Amino acid sequence: MCGIVAYIGNREVYPILIKGLQRLEYRGYDSAGVAILNGDLKIFKKAGKVSDLAASVKGQDVSGHLGMGHTRWATHGEPNDRNAHPHFSQTKNFAIIHNGIIENYSSIKEELKKRGHVFHSDTDTEVLIHLIEDIYQNGQVGMDEAVRLALGEVIGAYAIVVLGKDHPTEMIAARKGSPIVVGVGKEEGEYFVASDATPIIEYTNNVIYLNDGEVAYIKDGKLTVKTIENQVKTPYVQELEMKLEELEKGGYDHFMLKEIYEQPRSIWDSMRGRIDAQKGFLRMGGMAEYDAKFANAKRILIIGCGTSWHAGLVAEYLIEDLARIPVEVEYASEFRYRNPIINEDDIVIPISQSGETADTLAAIELAKSKGATIFGVCNVVGSSIPRATHAGAYTHAGPEIGVASTKAFTAQVTVLTLMALYLARHRGTISESRFQQIASELESIPAKVEQVLKLNDKIKVLASKFKDAHNFLYLGRGYGFPVALEGALKLKEISYIHAEGYPAAEMKHGPIALIDEQMPVVVIANKNSSYEKVVSNIQEVKARKGVVIAIVTEGDEVVRGMADHVIEIPPTDDVLIPLVSVVPLQLLSYHIAVMRGCNVDQPRNLAKSVTVE
Ligand code: G6P
C-alpha cells in the first residue's frame, strides 16, 4: 500500500527520494510523487511507476535538501496525476503525503468549502492539508501546533509527513494506525522518515518506530516526539539488523524467485536457537512466560489474512493433532465485525508477515479489549502487530519483497510447528519418542526443500504446458488441504489465472462439475494417512478426463501410473508435509506468471502490506 519516504539534512534529497520510492515499490501502488522545498515548495507527481515520475521530472530543477516522496495505492479517487500525492494546501504553502484513510473527510471538506477552500483532487488527504493551513492561519499557531490540532479533529488512520514553504528547517510526521519509522542519520542533524525501513537502511540502522498517536517534529536538526495530546515522549532508538543485500535481487530475475530459493536458509533461521532434536531441546522465548495460560487454554483463536491465514490453517491441524487444544481459524476481517465470542482464557494468535495488516490489527484490539491473551507470529521486527501483542515469536525470514508470500509462509509454518510441539510437550500430549521424531525431521526440512528446488527446470517445462490454461483446481486432504489453498492463491495472485483450492473429498460436492479435458488439477498426493483417499480422488478426476499434476512422494508408482504429470518430492512426516509440498507450487506459479509476461513481484491491484481495511 502507500509508501512514504522523506529526508531533512545536508544531502541532495531528490536521489534519496527516488531511490526510496523504488525500494517501496514492492508495497504495491499506482502513482508516485515528490515534494521538494528549496526556497519554493515544488511538487512533481505522476500516475504509473516511479520510473514514469523520474522520466517526467527529467530536466527540471529538483535540487534541495528537504523533501518527501510517496507511492499511492488508490482508495479515495482513481489513480491519476491529480489524485497522486503530495497534495498542496489552499495557498500552496504547505504540502502533505499520507498513508491511510481520513474517515470524516467529507464533513471537514464541506466546512472548508464554505470558507472558500477550493479542492483539486478527490482525495481525503487534500482535505487534511487544507485543514492544517486553516488552523495555521486562523489560530495564529506554528506549523507544528497546526498539525497537532488538525490531527485532533480527524477520525481515521494515517501516517503523514507535512512540509511548509516558510519552514525550511522543519519536517513533521505523525502516525495513527499506519506505520512511521524515523531514521536517525549518520550526519549531524539529518533525519529520514518512511513507512518502513527499506528506503532508510542504506543510510542508517538507527530507527525510531513512532507509536500510535505520536507526532515527530524535526526542527533545526533536532527531533522531538509528542503525543497528539501534547505530551512529550522520549523516543526509543533501536538498531535494525536488516542488511542492504536483503533488499536487492542478488542475481535473480525477480524477488519472488530469490525468496523461493532462500527458503532452506529462512526455514532454518526460523528455528535457529529454538530447537535441538538431539538434545531434546525446545525453547520458545515468548511462550515461556505464558506457560500457565497456554497449558490451561480451553481454546486458541488464530487470525490472519491471505497467505498468513493459510499458515493458520496448518497451525489448526498441528495444534489440535499434537497438543489437543481446540483451535479456530478466522479471517481477521470477518472476526472483527461478526461480534465473536471471546473469553478471558482464550489465546489469540495473530499471524502476519508485514505486521501492519489493518484488519489483523483491529482484530487484535478487539480480542485484547475482551481480555484474551495475544501471542503474535510476525516477520517484520518492530512493526505494529508485535507491538500490539502481549508476547510473540518472530519468524526471522528476513525482508520479503515479492508481493506473493513464499518464504514468509514456510517460516510461519515452521514457527507454528515449534509452537505446537512446545504446547504438546508442556501439556503432556506427545510422547518423547514422537517429539524426537518430528523434531529431527523438522531439522532435515531445509535440506529437503533444497532438493525440491533442484526440480526447478522440470517444473518450468510443466509451466510451459499449462501457461495458457484459464482455470486450475488444487486439491489436498489433511495437511495437504491448506497447501492446495496456498498453491491456488499463488497462481491467481501473480498469473491472473483463476484457481481454486479445495479439500479433495469436497470436490464431488461442486467442483467436479467443472472437470473436463481443459481443467488442470493439481493434487497434493504425498504418502500420508489420507494417501489412499487422495488416490481415489485422482481416479475421480481422471474418469472425467481432467489433467492431473500430482505432487507425490519419491518413488510413488501408483500415482505415477494415473496422473498426467508427477512432481516427486522427498518423503517427510505427515505434519511437515506443507513445508516441502508448497515449494513446487510456488515454482509452478512463478514460471507460469513469467511466461505470461506478468509483473511477478508487483502484480496488478495487490499490495504487500494492506494498511487499510
Ligand atoms: C496481502 C499480501 C499477501 C498477504 C496478506 C496478509 O494480501 O499481498 O501476501 O498474505 O496481505 O498480510 P500479512 O502481512 O498480514 O501476512
Q: What is the mean pLDDT of each run of 10 residues along the chain (613 residues)?
A: 94 97 90 96 95 95 97 86 95 96 94 95 94 93 96 94 97 94 95 95 94 96 96 93 83 95 97 94 91 88 97 98 96 92 94 94 95 96 91 94 96 98 95 96 98 98 97 95 97 96 91 90 92 92 93 94 96 96 98 97 86 78
Grid cell in block for residue 390: 502481549
What pLDDT sits at residue 385? 93
What pLDDT sits at residue 219? 97
- Report how many helices (DSSP H) and strands (DSSP E) the chain contains, helices first: 21, 27
Residues 6+ apart with CB under 8 A from 165: 37, 40, 41, 92, 93, 94
Grid cell in block for residue 534: 487422495
3-state secondary structure 486-511: HHHHHHHHHHCCEEEEEEHHHHHHCH
Grid cell in block for residue 405: 508470500
What pLDDT sits at residue 296? 84
What pLDDT sits at residue 28? 84
What pLDDT sits at residue 12? 97
Tell me how far apart the alpha carbons of residues 471 and 546 are, in angstroms, rounded to a whole number.
12
Which DSSP helix (H) or strand (E) runs through 173?
strand 170-176
Taking the CA of residue 607 as reference, the ligand 1 atom at the shortest distance is 8
What pLDDT sits at residue 486? 98
Q: Is the peptide bond before 86 cis (omega within 30 degrees of 0)?
A: yes
Residue with the smallest CA separation from ligand 1 atom 15 is 352
**Partners of 87 in beta bridges:** 96
Q: Are 128 and 102 in contact (CB under 8 A)?
A: yes
Biggest distance spanned by C-alpha atoms of the chain: 82
Query: Given ligand 1 and candidates 307, 378, 384, 601, which is best to mutate, with the most ligand atoms within 8 Å of its CB?
Result: 307
Grid cell in block for residue 510: 461442486
| Rounded distance from Cα 307 to ligand 1 centre (Å) | 6
Taking the CA of residue 357 as reference, the ligand 1 atom at the shortest distance is 15
In the structure, which protein residues have their CB atom closer than 6 angstroms to any atom of ligand 1? 305-308, 352-354, 357, 360, 403, 405, 606, 608-610
Supply the residues annotated as catalytic.
2, 608
Q: Are 397 and 446 in contact (CB under 8 A)?
A: no
Residues 6+ apart with CB under 8 A from 267: 407, 410, 411, 414, 445, 446, 449, 579
Look-up of cell digits 505520536? 214
The verdict on pTM exceeding 0.75 is yes
**327 CA to centre of own chain:** 23
| Rounded distance from Cα 3 to ligand 1 centre (Å) | 16
Strands 565-569 and 547-553: parallel
| Rounded distance from Cα 81 to ligand 1 centre (Å) | 27
Residue with the smallest CA separation from ligand 1 atom 8 is 608
What pLDDT sits at residue 446? 98
Residues 6+ apart with CB under 8 A from 513: none
What pLDDT sits at residue 1? 79
